[in-house]
A and B are shown apart, each in its own frame.
Chain A
Amino acid sequence: MNTYEKEKVIQTFRKDIFPVLTERIREPIIKMKSFGFYEIEEIRLRANKPLMLYRNNQGFFLDENGEVKGENGIIVTKEDIEKTYLLMCDYSLYTMEEDIKQGFLTLKGGHRVGIAGKVVNEGGRIKTIKNISCLNIRIAKEVKGCALNLAKTIYKDGIKHTLIVSPPGCGKTTILRDLVRLLSNGIKEIDLSGKKVTVVDERSEIASCYLGIPQNDVGIRTDVLDGCPKVEGMIMAVRTMSPDVVAVDEIGSIKDAEAIMDAINTGVKVIATVHGKDLDDVLKRRGIKLLFENQCIDVIVFLSNRSGPGTIENIIKIN
């Protein structure tokens, strides 16, 4: 990690992460000795269980003085979780109502927080989650330029319908965000002029909008539909924003696939991501299979974290 990035990640922690944590959890993380807190990828809080942090996909614990421990450490209390939860919502739970139903929150800066607790049902549908007992904070790190080589390889003959496949935590969204930025700004090296891009950002992770304004650099020709459901969003985008490219995160259902096919029929290019490990894996998703059968995918990119998040395993060119 070069110093510029390091500084940026430290700023991210100061601005977005530390203000929402309680003091007894925040202080040890700041004091951590073995390595800088900027290397943390995940912070997990579970009621009455030790605070757990992840770095390079390895979990570890911390004691009060910031000493790294193999086991045990500071115990997270119910109050810690409740307060953190309230702060994460800006003291305004109602603004997150729809997100909470899906089991996550998005913090300012695009960091996704998974939540678990008692799920309240009403008529077979999730109404809300109460008695929150687990919070899983995933630190989003914007890595500018990480997709440049990839873009040069796959877009040298023009933009193609692209599917990015990766297991969770391998930099799928980061790569997508950078691709969007590159396409929107244009890539000089391969003579690609900037394109109008619309991002359908259902979970506010790609552009990390806060009060509607993208906090991440997604390029100068990019419009963001923040918090918009994918299917409606793609239709809206094509109908109203006249994009050249539509980007969407985590597709999979038949409905997603149908929306993508509609979009493709109007002449836009689609870039999407999906959870999975290899081709067999993703073809089990019915939506992806449908897209595949209708030749709506030109390039498939497989990611892993074999040598760090964002490792490109394989690129399959179909058309």
Chain B
Amino acid sequence: MLKIIGGLMVILSTSAMGYLYSFGYKERVRQIRELQFCINSLSSEILYSSNPLWVALNNISKNTSSPFKDLFSKMSDYLKEKKLESIGECFNLALNECKHNLYLEKEDLEILNTFVQGLGSSDFEGHKKNFNIVLKKLEGIEKEAEEMREKNEKLYKYLGVLGGLLIVIILV
């Protein structure tokens, strides 16, 4: 009896591990899509409504979900306070506070960072270009992330369950 319970516990925990691992892939795709949506909204906030950056970010933070909700509302707060030297600094500070909820890869963050650096200091034309570039790049990584998800999501889930079974079989 004890053996069965122990075996079940092993299988359960390895399955959970596999599931968590695969969740990262799924979540990355979702977050990249969410980010595309945010940047699209930001582009109309800036190009059409001509709102200052902190107002624009505050507005889009209301229409999005975690983690970008926190990221953009924090960044908006820092911009509003006017205590920091540049937009980049405000972004980095906000990013550091929200990092634990982000499932983005390093390259994704780099794209976001370059985009943020280009905000604010140019005219509408410059912003248009910046938006086009970042959206194109995000499309690219969205595809890539989707492929990775397809390949790996199921793999890690099965691996979790089967790995647990293997351990149990060996131990028994």
Q: Distance in Å from the Cβ of B85 to the closest Cβ of chain A?
A: 7
Query: Bound state CA distance, A93 and B90, in angstroms?
Result: 16
Q: Which of B79, B82, B126 contacts A20 (CB 8 A)?
A: B82
Of the candidates A19, A86, A94, the one having the most CB atoms from chain B within 10 angstroms of its own CB is: A94
Whether a CB of chain B sits under 8 angstroms from the CB of A83 is yes
Contact of A87 among B51, B82, B119, B123 (CB under 8 A): B82
CB closest residue in chain A, given B53: A92
Q: How far is the CA of A97 from the CA of B126 in the complex (A)?
A: 12
20 contacting pairs across A/B (C-beta < 8 A): A86-B86, A89-B52, A90-B82, A91-B52, A91-B86, A91-B120, A92-B51, A92-B52, A92-B53, A93-B120, A93-B121, A93-B123, A94-B120, A94-B122, A94-B123, A94-B124, A94-B126, A95-B51, A95-B52, A97-B124
B29 to chain A, nearest CB (A): 31
Residues of A within 8 A of B (CB): 19-20, 83, 86-87, 89-95, 97, 128, 211
List, in ascending order, chain A residues with CB within 8 A of B54's CB: 90-92
A95 to B50, CA, bound (A): 6
* Residues A90 and B79 in contact in the complex (CB < 8 Å), given A83-B85, A97-B124, A128-B123: yes
Q: Is B30 an interface residue (CB 8 A)?
A: no
For B55, the chain A residues whose CB sits under 8 A away are 211
Q: How large is the interface on B (under 10, 10 to 19, 20 to 34, 35 or more residues)?
A: 20 to 34
Q: B residues within 8 Å of A by Cβ? A: 46, 50-55, 79, 82, 85-87, 90, 119-124, 126-127
Residues on A with beta carbons closer than 8 Å to the beta carbon of B120: 86, 89, 91-94
A94 is contacted by which of B46, B79, B86, B87 (Cβ under 8 Å)? B46
> How far is it, in angstroms, between the C-alpha of A19 and the C-alpha of B83 when the chains are bound?
8
Contacts of A92 in B (CB 8 A): 46, 51-54, 119-120
Which among A86, A91, A95, A211 has the greatest number of chain B C-beta atoms within 10 A? A91
Known: A20-B82, A91-B119, A94-B120. 6 other contacts (CB 8 A): A86-B120, A89-B52, A91-B52, A91-B87, A94-B127, A211-B55
User: Chain B nearest CB: distance from A229 CB in Å?
Assistant: 15
A-B pairs, 10 with minimum CB distance: A90-B52, A92-B52, A92-B53, A91-B120, A19-B82, A92-B120, A91-B87, A95-B52, A87-B82, A97-B123
Are the CB atoms of A91 and B53 closer together than 8 Å? yes
Chain B, Cβ-Cβ closest to A97: B123
Rounded to whole angstroms, the CA-CA distance of A87 and B85 in the bound complex is: 9
